[in-house]
């Protein structure tokens, strides 16, 4: 009981540090890093004043085994800003980011880290941090989240971001996204993006041959304790110089550029003054406001207002959303359309509405965002996925799962907004039924197969 209470206390302390990071003010460098146990050795990677230091931890001491410096001119900043350790089939690897690229280093020979691969120089926005989901690493940027596979290809992406990278986490299996937004803790369903609740943490526990190691990350220190809560050692930030922030042009982004009145739309932007109040206008009428973070970025959910006699500005049609910096005077606009209520969001079709387990069904639809990632569910179980094309349309052939006869729903679910449902009926396999012999009597049938 004493140990549980002690750990709970540390978690509360760690949570308080996470919340402090969201306070508006001067941007200053903070110590970031990760810790894992691999083949009986505890590895600790720290980002300290732009360089990455790799440490090995025993039961009595912390030993630095390697230092990785950033390549001058790659990032436009002072160096690396975050690190994540990952264990794969080929061993242990270290992921780093300097704001412009994501790097993957092979550290199986911990004293001689070797660059494995670097992300492409594409329109990824500005990376602000790294995290882990199951056995993969993900990056957080001002343009969303990308999950990187072992070959450094993007295996999954979502237009969901946070100005503070470590305020956003995935659950271990990737079913939920945890987000600290302002002074609230939120949990989102990863497939539907619907808000559920909240969580965050700044404490990690690993196990080696000597027992558990508790690693506490705060803004300027990392403290390592053994399982008896005795201090093994600590690492402090060398200095507290301001972080180099790459100059950003004004820009705005919407998760959906069209919606009906009453819908929630996520609006994000960058390039404004640090911590300034931003006024949000729709068709030149103020509808909301939000504060920019330390680097001049923001994320805000807005509700599309209703049209009535007192608000003629919100008549369904095409108009602009404008965000004005109250202190800087900076202003930027993005196009948006309020749709008529009852407008069909998506067209959809299916080549047949009933069939047997194992048979193929051709689905198609339109009305999504170009390039949007769509999840396909059968009887509330995910069975496949597909990306919408440049016109917001998709076509996909699915296989009816091994399931008992009956009426079900096929659901096409985008990352944001509402998807749609197609009714489908799984048939009885009459051919198998007619060939049953007397000795089969009483067997249970599931999806046309005997058991």
> Which domains are present in the chain?
2-236 (2.115.10), 251-339 (2.60.40.1930), 347-433 (2.60.40.1930)
Which one is predicted more confidently, 416 or 26?
A: 416
With beta carbons less than 8 A apart as the criterion, state whether 176 and 185 touch: no
Look at strands 354-355 and 420-426 and give their pairing.
parallel
Alpha carbon distances (Å) from 144 to 82, 117, 415 = 16, 21, 12
406 φψ region: left (φ > 0), alpha (ψ -120 to 50), beta (else): left
What does the pLDDT read at residue 281?
95
Q: Percentage of residues in the chain with pLDDT exceeding 90?
A: 21
With beta carbons less than 8 A apart as the criterion, state whether 92 and 43 touch: yes
State the Cα–Cα distance between residues 100 and 120, nearest whole angstrom.
10
Helix (H, G, I), strand (E, B) or coil at 249: coil
pLDDT digits (tens, 9 = 90+) for 221-277: 677 878 776 778 877 765 555 444 445 788 898 877 787 777 778 899 988 988 899
Averaged over 342-364, what is the pLDDT? 75
With beta carbons less than 8 A apart as the criterion, state whether 200 and 178 touch: yes
**What confidence category does residue 11 fall into, taking pLDDT thresholds of 50, 70 and 90?**
very low
What does the pLDDT read at residue 239?
53
Helix (H, G, I), strand (E, B) or coil at 9: helix
Q: Which residues pair with 377 in a beta bridge?
A: 382, 411
What does the pLDDT read at residue 6?
41
Angle at 444 between CA 443 and CA 450, to 5 degrees: 75
What radius of gyration do the chain's Cα atoms show?
26
Alpha carbon distances (Å) from 334 to 252, 256, 259, 301, 323 = 6, 11, 14, 15, 9
Determine the distance from the C-alpha atom of residue 201 to the mean position of all C-alpha atoms in its chain, rounded to a whole number.
Answer: 16
What does the pLDDT read at residue 13?
38
State the Cα–Cα distance between residues 274 and 251, nearest whole angstrom.
15
In the predicted structure, residue 187 carries a pLDDT above the cut 80: no
pTM attached to this predicted model: 0.42
Averaged over 43-72, what is the pLDDT? 87
Helix (H, G, I), strand (E, B) or coil at 205: strand
pLDDT digits (tens, 9 = 90+) for 418-449: 567 788 889 876 555 444 444 444 443 333 33
Q: Percentage of residues in the chain with pLDDT exceeding 70?
A: 70
Token pair belonging to 374: 């769509």
């Amino acid at each position: 009981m004493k140990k549980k209470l002690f750990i709970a206390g540390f978690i509360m302390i760690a949570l308080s540090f996470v919340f402090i990071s969201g306070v508006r003010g001067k941007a200053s460098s903070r110590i970031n890093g990760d810790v894992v146990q691999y083949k009986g050795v505890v590895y600790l990677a720290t980002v300290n004043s732009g360089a990455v230091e790799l440490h090995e931890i025993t039961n009595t001491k912390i030993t630095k085994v390697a230092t990785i410096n950033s390549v001058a001119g790659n990032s436009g900043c002072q160096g690396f800003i975050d690190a994540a350790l990952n264990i794969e089939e080929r061993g242990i690897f270290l992921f780093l980011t300097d704001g412009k690229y994501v790097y993957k280093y092979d550290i199986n020979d911990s004293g001689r880290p070797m660059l494995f691969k670097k992300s492409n120089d594409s329109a990824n926005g500005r990376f602000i941090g790294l995290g882990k989901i199951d056995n993969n690493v993900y990056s957080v940027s001002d343009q969303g989240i990308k999950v990187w596979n072992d070959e450094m290809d993007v295996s999954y992406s979502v237009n969901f971001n946070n100005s503070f990278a470590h305020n956003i986490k995935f659950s271990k299996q990737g079913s939920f996204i945890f987000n600290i937004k302002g002074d609230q803790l939120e949990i989102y369903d990863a497939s539907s993006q619907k808000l559920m609740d909240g969580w965050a943490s700044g404490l990690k526990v690993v196990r080696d041959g000597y027992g558990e190691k508790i690693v506490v990350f705060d803004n300027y220190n990392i403290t390592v304790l053994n399982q008896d809560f005795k201090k093994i050692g600590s690492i402090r930030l060398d200095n507290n110089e301001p972080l180099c922030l790459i100059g950003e042009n004004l820009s705005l982004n919407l998760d959906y550029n069209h919606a009906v009145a009453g819908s929630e739309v996520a609006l994000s932007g960058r390039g404004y003054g640090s911590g300034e109040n931003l006024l949000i206008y729709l068709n030149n009428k103020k509808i909301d406001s939000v504060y920019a973070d330390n680097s001049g970025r923001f994320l805000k959910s807005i509700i599309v207002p209703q049209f009535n006699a007192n608000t003629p500005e919100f008549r369904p049609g095409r108009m602009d959303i404008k965000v004005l910096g109250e202190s800087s005077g900076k202003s930027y606009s993005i196009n948006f359309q309020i749709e008529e209520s009852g407008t069909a969001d998506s067209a959809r079709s299916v080549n047949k509405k009933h069939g047997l387990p194992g048979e193929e069904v051709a689905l198609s639809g339109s009305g999504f965002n170009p390039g949007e990632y769509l999840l396909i569910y059968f009887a509330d179980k995910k069975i496949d996925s597909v990306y919408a094309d440049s016109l917001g349309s998709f076509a996909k052939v699915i296989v009816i799962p091994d399931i008992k006869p009956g009426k079900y729903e096929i659901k096409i679910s985008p990352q944001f907004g509402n998807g749609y449902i197609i009714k489908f009926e799984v048939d009885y396999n009459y051919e198998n039924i007619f060939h049953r012999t007397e000795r089969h009597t009483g067997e249970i049938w599931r999806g046309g197969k005997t058991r």
